[in-house]
Each structure stands twice: as C-alpha cells, then as structure tokens.
C-alpha cells in the first residue's frame, strides 16, 4: 500500500493536516511543541521538525520565536484545497480503477456491508 512506503515525516504531516482540517488545531491555535509531538507519536524530534517545516514553507503555520508555532488565518481552506487536489489527481485514479476492476457501483459503495 502507498501509505506504508511513505516517509515518517510525511505521515506526521498527514496527521497534522488532518488535525487542522478536523478543527483540533484551529486557525490561531498553537501546535504542540516539536518535543511534545515527538513524544506523543514515538517519533524522532528531527522528523517532527521536518514535518513542521513543510507547513511553514507552505505558509500554513508561523513561528513566534520563544513562544511556539501557530496555525495561520486561512490555513484550513488552503489546506483543504491542496488536499482535495492531491486526492483527485493522485489517489482517486487508483481507487477508481480498483472500483471498476471489482465491478462495484455506487449502490455497492454506499450501502452498509
């Protein structure tokens, strides 16, 4: 599976992105420190820092020196647009192919198993 071969920092990035999209880290909210998230996730602090750096590079968080890292205003919508684009362009084609291969239709997918 694709996610199993993903580098740890990208898995952490996905975890943080989901938390922002779910509202657990609202706009203006402070993210956990690198050390705190590393301890929580059982990850190397340098790996967490790399994941955070990606959000900073993308303009979704900002650092307030000596205070912490905060989710910027508008980050949720920009992140949602980016995640949607990635899903449609990269993930959906393989899912659609598998649906077709298995002969599934909308009713099969929407009805409880």
Whose tokens are 């303009």? That residue is 59
Structural domain range at position 59: 2-110
Q: In whole angstroms, what is the distance from residue 29 CA to residue 27 CA?
A: 5
pLDDT at 1: 43
- Asked if residue 52 lies in contact with residue 43, where contact means CB atoms within 8 angstroms, the answer is no
Give the pLDDT of the chain (113 residues) as one tens digit per residue. 444 688 999 999 999 999 999 999 999 999 999 999 999 999 999 999 999 999 999 999 999 998 999 999 999 999 999 999 999 999 999 999 999 999 999 888 888 76
In the prediction, which pLDDT does 57 show?
Answer: 95
* CATH code where residue 98 lies: 1.10.10.10
The separation between the first and the last C-alpha atoms of the chain, rounded to the nearest angstrom, is 22
List of residues 6+ apart from 20 with CB closer than 8 A: 60, 71, 75, 76, 79
Query: Which residues sit opposite 68 in a β-bridge?
Result: 64
Give the total number of structural domains in the chain. 1
Furthest CA-CA distance within the chain: 56
**pLDDT, position 43:** 95
pTM of the model: 0.80
Q: What is the distance, to the nearest Å, from the Cα of residue 40 to the centroid of all Cα atoms in its chain?
A: 17
In the block, tokens 């705190």 appear at: 36
């Amino acid at each position: 599976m694709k996610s199993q071969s993903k580098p740890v920092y990208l898995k952490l990035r996905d975890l943080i992105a989901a938390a922002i999209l779910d509202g657990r880290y609202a706009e203006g909210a402070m993210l956990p420190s690198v050390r705190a998230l590393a301890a929580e996730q059982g990850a190397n602090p340098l790996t967490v820092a790399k994941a955070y750096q990606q959000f900073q590079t993308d303009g979704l968080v900002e650092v307030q020196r000596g205070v912490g890292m905060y989710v910027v205003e508008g980050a949720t919508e920009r992140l949602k647009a980016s995640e949607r684009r990635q899903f449609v362009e990269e993930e959906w084609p393989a899912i659609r192919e598998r649906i077709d291969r298995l002969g599934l239709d909308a009713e099969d997918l929407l009805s409880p198993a």
